[in-house]
Amino acid sequence: MINFNQPHLTGKEAHYMYEAVYTCKLSGNGRFTKACQAWFENRYGFRKALLTTSGTDALEMCAMLCDLQPGDEVIVPSYTFVSTALAFLREGAKVVFADSMTRNPNLDAGALEMLITPRTKVIVPVHYAGVACDMDAIMAVAKKHNLLVVEDAAQAIDSYYKNKPLGGIGHLAAFSFHETKNITAGGEGGLLVVNDERFVRRAEIIWEKGTNRAEFFRGEVNKYGWVDMGSSFLPSEVNAAFLWAQIENIEDIQAKRKMLWNAYWERLKPIADKDYFTLPDIPDYATNNAHMFYLVLPSLEARTAFIQYLKDNGVGAVFHYLSLHSSPYYQSKHDGRVLPNCDRYADCLVRLPLFYDLTMENVNFICDLIEKYYR
């Protein structure tokens, strides 16, 4: 059986985790946490990077920093993971769902303006499959209407929009190090990125349970206490140690994933050219970080049969994202607009196995099966 996903170990994880344990520094914000955060700040030019216990938590921190009032509206794509919307809903916001583009699942920047009302406060672009949304267009709309932009960059590590790193463009951003992402902090983990100076101090306080403890540790104040809202968002050093081992190998991880991704593309392009399905779309302004290889089939029935065929032949292919606007929880709160592209991806998109330890033999085996299916 070729699984859909399998977490990758670089070999140094246990060593660094042992080191964290052995030096008796287990709680957060120690040596490994600082090393990971500094790496992100230096490599991508992020103003401030804070490790979190998950991508969901990083999004929740973003939502708290946006300082939303009841009735404020936040524009979120409907074709995304629950957390993108949930983080803002928890803060009392009204979530207004945006449709995807025809060419790929990212939100349609050209259709943003008609969703904006006097209550709109935030736009949350999700870089689906690590492929950039049209950030110039989104930032221009945000500037015109004085809105904040929070990038859900959960899938977008080491990916770029017109040479700008994703997560470094909006006012705030969130990454995920869940085991299904390109690098992991040992199963669960995330990162909050603050690009707008106005939010740096408050982000650190929210991260540290509403206290100014981080400033105290840096010697900037001589005692610390409760100064704001917050929660326990920082991960243990053990998770940071695991993540550090993955960060050290990022070039190797990315190169291998891209090689596998390109192999899928080469083998499946001729079948896509016969209109059996479409391949991932990467606009000229975006790079590919090989987070995901997906196909879009013509119908729900075609997809169901295709997934079953692969399963019968030992390959774990999966679909995902039931449209959030028609979910059991949000359906009655949604304003009734039909979001056709979103529904099409929910019905027709299928993800093929893609992980570091997948082999070229595996990819060829999967592509042989697909060829045979359409012959």
Quick one: 300 exposed, middle or buried, by C-beta within 10 A (0-12, 13-18, 19+)?
middle
154 binds ligand PLP (CB under 6 A): yes
289 binds ligand PLP (CB under 6 A): no
Beta strands 120-123 and 148-152 are parallel
Report residue 1 CA to chain centroid gap. Answer: 27
152 binds ligand PLP (CB under 6 A): yes
Q: Which stretch binds ligand PLP (CB under 6 A): 5-13, 75-83, 112-120, 353-361?
A: 75-83
Residue nearest to ligand PLP (CB): 55
Beta strands 190-194 and 94-98 are unpaired
Q: What angle do CA 56, 59, 62 make, to 5 degrees?
A: 155
83 binds ligand PLP (CB under 6 A): yes
Q: Select from 265, 228, 218, 261 the least CA-distant residue to 34.
A: 218
Report residue 188 CA to chain centroid gap. Answer: 13
User: Is the separation of the CB atoms in 300 and 348 below 8 Å?
Assistant: yes
Distance, in Å, from the CA atom of 262 to the CA atom of 278, rounded to the nearest integer, reads 15
CA distances in angstroms from 121 to 57, 58, 107, 149, 217, listed in the order given: 20, 18, 17, 9, 34
Work out how close the CB of 81 gets to ligand PLP at its nearest, in angstroms, rounded to a whole number.
4
Site for ligand PLP (CB under 6 A): which residue of 28, 190, 235, 280? 190
Decide whether 151 or 212 has the Cβ nearer to ligand PLP.
151
The site for ligand PLP, by CB under 6 A, has a size of: 14
Work out how close the CB of 98 gets to ligand PLP at its nearest, in angstroms, rounded to a whole number.
14
Q: Name the 3-class secondary structure at 85.
A: helix
Residues within window 118-137 making contact with ligand PLP, judged by CB under 6 A: 126
Site for ligand PLP (CB under 6 A): which residue of 33, 37, 78, 84? 84
- The residues with which 107 forms a beta bridge, in sequence order, are 100
Work out how close the CB of 182 gets to ligand PLP at its nearest, in angstroms, rounded to a whole number.
11
Residues within window 27-66 making contact with ligand PLP, judged by CB under 6 A: 54-56
Decide whether 190 or 230 has the Cβ nearer to ligand PLP.
190
Q: Which stretch binds ligand PLP (CB under 6 A): 39-47, 80-88, 223-231, 277-285?
A: 80-88
The sign of the dihedral angle between the CA atoms of 65, 83, 277, 270 is positive
323 binds ligand PLP (CB under 6 A): no
246 binds ligand PLP (CB under 6 A): no
- The tokens for 16 are 């660094």
| 217 φ/ψ angles, rounded to the nearest 5 degrees | -65, -30
Decide whether 231 or 313 has the Cβ nearer to ligand PLP.
231
Q: Which stretch binds ligand PLP (CB under 6 A): 94-102, 150-158, 165-173, 356-364?
A: 150-158
Decide whether 30 or 186 has the Cβ nearer to ligand PLP.
186
Report residue 239 CA to chain centroid gap. Answer: 18
80 binds ligand PLP (CB under 6 A): yes
Decide whether 6 or 362 has the Cβ nearer to ligand PLP.
6
Q: Which stretch binds ligand PLP (CB under 6 A): 78-86, 202-210, 225-233, 352-360?
A: 78-86
178 binds ligand PLP (CB under 6 A): yes
Distance, in Å, from the CA atom of 288 to the CA atom of 208, rounded to the nearest integer, reads 35
Could you list the residues that contact ligand PLP (CB under 6 A)? 54-56, 80-81, 83-84, 126, 152, 154-155, 176, 178, 190
